[in-house]
Structure 1
Amino acid sequence: MPAAELELERLARLQHRLVAADCDAGLFYDPLNIRYATGTSNMSVYALHHPCRYALVPAQGHVTLFDFKTCEHLSDGHPGVGEVRSAVSWYHFITGPRTEEFAERWAAEIASVLGTYAGRRRGARPRLAVDRLDPLGLWALERLGVEVVNGGDAIGLARAVKCDGEIATMRAAIEVCERAIAAMEAACVPGVTEQELWSVMHQVAIAGGGEWFETRLLTSGPRTNPWYQECSDRVIREGDLVAFDTDHVGLGGYTVDVSRTWLAGDVKRTAEQRDMYAAAYEQVQRNVELLQPGVTFAEVSQRAHLPPDGLHSPANACVAHGMGLCNEYPLILNRDQFASDGYDGVLEPGMVLCVESLVAPQGRPEAVKLEEQVLITPTGPQVLSASPFCESLLS
């Protein structure tokens, strides 16, 4: 599918959700939401913590993109963008003590453009779905008569089901990332540091057209447990488990979220390493098979396989989570947390989910992390990730 066709299909999905939410338009600041709606990308990591660009998406028609000053040319060739304006930024670094003044200026322009979309809802005041907004902006829009509602549902549901072009792009992103995983595995020898090893992933993935990494989750030996430590200057030793989670925003902005655990060096696994790996592998394989179209999240949670007592880690909250431009709806929690924190829904063809396992026995020196990226097809789950599992731990 040509890029332009893909962008227009995504925009149409989002606009369908805005209509369903009875909104005149959506205002999106999250760089990934802007990319979904427009196909454009500009300083995404910077824009995650400096709100310097935003997109006003009408329920019908072309998008007005407010981009960083002098960056209008970056929208050339993106058919969903009808107009590009310079963003009015009003965070403290830019405005200092004049933040409220600039917020008022920003709101006046938003309300003016929004006024061209209004009237489609039988004279009701303009209704705007917003993904994120600081209080000054919210108050300024409300003073101008704009009704602001949560836009997370609309964009989240739009992004959940992928079209053919998105799946093709994701497959290409996974292929590049898995070349980086293979290069990192070849470099995983005793004596290398965690950071040196992780740098191999960066070099190969970025050289292949990948974009950035959301985390630095690669640890070894005693730093694998507890999980969620990021890589350090620790030297990997013979016999260590080395575990990682890619969290890679790759080609076209589509994320690759795959985890593997390796055994460093030419040594035999310990009995404990064998048992942990077998438990994690079984959990992933069995839970992949649960991802059938039409099955509810509650059913998946209830039927999901958990490792034996003493091996299941409460830090691994989910059976699976959605994946696209980043972590996305849905999040399916394990049954030990579903009642208190989960929500229900239905698996649909075109959803992509990542199936997780973390075996991290409390008080023990190591952990095993595995994760597969899976497409829901009309006939069942199809595993998209193809990086091999560690034979010395599995066999």
Structure 2
Amino acid sequence: MSTLPFPASVYSARLSRAASLAADAGLDAIVVGPGPDLQYLVGVEGDTIERLTALVIGPGATPTVVVPRMELAKVRSTAVGELGLAVADWVDGEDPYALVTSAVGDAARVGVSDALPALHVIPIGDRLGVRLELATPVLREGRMIKDAEEIAELRRAGEAIDAVHRRVHEWLRAGRTEREVAADIAEAIVTEGHRTVEFVIVGSGPNGADPHHEVSDRVIEEGDVVVVDIGGAVPSGYNSDSTRTYVVGTPAPAAAERIAVLVRAQQAAVEAVRPGATAAEVDAAARSVLTDAGLGEAFLHRTGHGIGVSVHEEPYIAPGNDLVLREGMAFSIEPGIYFAGEWGARIEDIVVVTADGGERLNVAPHGLTAVGLR
């Protein structure tokens, strides 16, 4: 019985598009290893191991999966089995790279997915006798534009993580450690509809000034500004990612004023999203609000990143990225401000590019949210 999140026809269309994109790029074949690309194309999840699993796609050729026989049942339970793709299985002692060579044929230009490690890339290149290229430009083009089924799953993930943010007041209070709060949040992420917890950041007081702080044993104090950045994967494998900023008790007036500017900056970037705008223009919309308020130097990172079967994927909403936005792209909008040794704040939503603008997938309150004391 299939447990795939989408009908087989969805995966068939993805494979056909990948083959077409490969042809457009002048590639005779692409070799895709375990990771987000393989999950996207045929629903096979998992990471690369020392035994080679690879999907070979070529324009006009039947896709072939090279897989250890011990993993065969797992692979056949995915779209590989439903679509009747060619399977070349192998056992320890046999040469899996020869199977890749056979599937590739006489290809002169071959691309490999960026998740395939050197452990496998080098033997494949040696067997083929060609200089391998990155297939990233082909594979990212498919994944960047979400279809209706993917957007529905991202919307489900957004609703689930919003439900967790609406419950943060239950756990976040003075006297508890960041780690204790994070444990409660992680449990709620699963309770509210995710199958896995991908990350939980609880950055209180000065720890909030580190954008990638996770958790610590610091005891949360009255007056702390607290960054809570959380996400997980729903059963389909699509991810949520949302950040809100809280204060324990009453905030200092200066902090409240600066965070109000941050909320305006985030709103400005969301409003800048539309087909035809560039990623850099959306980033600039947030950055200019902060710069005009004298907070530009406190914004330490890009405005956003794409999301789907990976938490971070293209497109990246960053200065200098002239990528033109198209309907169906999905990414975070998450400007932040950070003051070393004091506090930090970040506001993050996932936004989907629509025909005439952008749709927020996160709607939990955006402003500085006060939570109770012990």
TM category (shorter chain) comes to 0.7 to 0.9
* Distance of 2:362 and 2:173 partners within structure 1: 24
- The equivalent of 2:258 in structure 1 is 276
Whichever residue aligns with residue 125 of structure 1, its letter is: A
1:312 deviation in Å?
A: 3.2
Alignment of 1:88-103 (within 5 A): none
1:76 aligns with 77
In structure 2, how many angstroms separate the alpha carbons of the residues matched to 1:269 and 1:298? 33
Deviations 1:284-312 (A, max 9, x none): 00111111111223443444434146533
Residue identity in the other structure for 2:214: E
**Is structure 2 residue 275 aligned with structure 1 residue 293?**
yes
Residue 101 of structure 2 is matched in structure 1 by 111
Map 1:256-271 → 2, pairs under 5 A: 256-264=240-248, 267-271=249-253
Instruction: Report matched runs for 1:1-395 at 5 Å.
Output: 2-41=6-45, 44=46, 47=47, 53-60=53-60, 62-67=62-67, 70-74=70-74, 75-76=76-77, 78=79, 79-80=82-83, 82-86=85-89, 105-115=95-105, 118=106, 125=108, 127-135=110-118, 137-144=120-127, 145-264=129-248, 267-304=249-286, 305-308=288-291, 311-313=295-297, 316-326=300-310, 327-333=312-318, 338=319, 342-361=320-339, 363-390=340-367, 392=369
CA 1:205–1:214: 2 relative to 1, 3 Å: closer
Quote the Cα distance in structure 1 between the aligned partners of 2:96 and 2:71. Answer: 18
Q: Distance in 2 between matches of 1:146 and 1:18?
A: 17
Residue 31 of structure 1 and its aligned partner are, at CA, apart by 1.3
Structure 2: which amino acid aligns with 1:375? V
1:2 is displaced (CA, Å) by 4.6
Code of the residue aligned with 2:343 in structure 1: it is E
Query: 1:177 offset after TM fit, Å?
Result: 2.3
- Rounded to whole Å, the distance in 1 between the matches of 2:361 and 2:308 is 13
Structure 2, unaligned runs of 5 or more: none
SS in 1 for 2:272: coil
- Which residue in 2 is equivalent to 1:94? none
* 8 Å contact from structure 2 (residues 44, 78) kept in 1: no
SS at match of 2:36: helix
Summarize the Cα distance change of 1:192–1:303 in structure 2 as closer, same or farther, 3 Å threshold: closer
Provide, for residues 211-261 of structure 1, a one-character-per-residue CA deviation record: whole Å limited to 9, x for no partner.
Answer: 434444221122111321111122222221221222423331112121111
Matched AA of 2:10:
L
Select between 350-359 and 315-324 the one with higher mean Cα deviation. 315-324
Pick closer, same or farther for the CA change 1:15–1:200 going to 2, 3 Å.
farther
> Deviation string for 1:354-387 (max 9, x for gaps)?
11111113x4511111111111101111111122
Counterpart CA distance in 1 for 2:244 and 2:337 is 12
Mapped to 1, the partners of 2:260 and 2:252 lie a distance apart of 12
- Write the distance in 1 (CA, Å) between the matches of 2:43 and 2:366: 35
Partner deviation per Cα, 1:127-159 (whole Å, 9 max, x = no partner): 334324444644433333344111111111110
Work out the CA distance in 2 between the residues paired with 1:255 and 1:106. Answer: 33
The structure-2 alpha-carbon separation of the partners of 1:236 and 1:345, relative to structure 1 and needing over 3 Å to count, comes to: same
8 Å Cα contact 2:28-2:108 kept in structure 1: no
CA–CA distance in structure 2, aligned partners of residues 206 and 368 of structure 1: 25
Output the CA distance in 2 between the equivalents of 1:195 and 1:88.
45
Q: 1:164 to 1:392 in 2, by over 3 A?
A: closer
Q: Secondary structure at the match of 2:290?
A: coil
User: Given residue 37 of structure 2, which amino acid in structure 1 is its aligned partner?
Assistant: N
Alignment RMSD (CA, Å): 2.9
Check the 8 A contact 1:173/1:252 in 2, yes or no. no
Q: Residues of 2 paired with 1:48 and 1:283: CA distance? A: 40
CA contact (8 A) 2:349 2:362 kept: yes
Tell me how many residue pairs correspond in the alignment.
Answer: 360
Cα 1:140/1:72, change in 2 over 3 Å: closer
Instruction: Specify the alignment match of 1:99 in structure 2.
Output: none
Q: Secondary structure of 2:132's match?
A: strand
